[in-house]
Amino acid sequence: MILRQILRLSSLFHSTVSSHVRRNIGLSAIVFNKTKELDPVQKLFLDKIREYNTKSKQAGGPVDAGPDFQKDMNESLARLQRAYGEGDLTKFPEFKFEEPKFEETPK
């Protein structure tokens, strides 16, 4: 009986300690990755992403998109407008949900 309780407490203690250790190792790995220098491939990848981000902000849309892209985009928008009706298809639709009107019934 006592041995069973000791084993139960030891397994509970083991699971608690192991979860804390895993969490602390995970957090320390994140902090370590932020402070260490990136390897050259990761650095090159991040530099290209940042470069594309600045170019897309300057261009106001897709970078290095030629006239074929714009033509395909216009054809797709026209096809969607024929299929789903009018409206601006480049914006996310706005939904308006009205609160239901509940009527109190006299008791």
Residue by residue, DSSP assigns 35-52 as: HSPPPHHHHHHHHHHHHH
Number of structural domains, the chain? Answer: 1
Residue corresponding to tokens 């895993």: 22
Has residue 64 been placed in a domain?
Answer: no
* Distance between CA atoms of residues 58 and 61, nearest Å: 8
pLDDT averaged per 10 residues, the chain (length 107):
67 65 63 66 90 88 83 88 78 85 79
Q: Please report whether residue 32 resides in a domain.
A: yes
Q: What is the DSSP letter of 104?
A: P
CA angle 52, 58, 61 (to 5 degrees): 75
Q: Which two tokens stand for residue 27?
A: 């957090």
pLDDT at 59: 82
Does the residue 40 lie in any domain? yes
Domain with 39 in it = 1-59
Domain presence at residue 104: no
> Residue 89 domain-assigned?
no
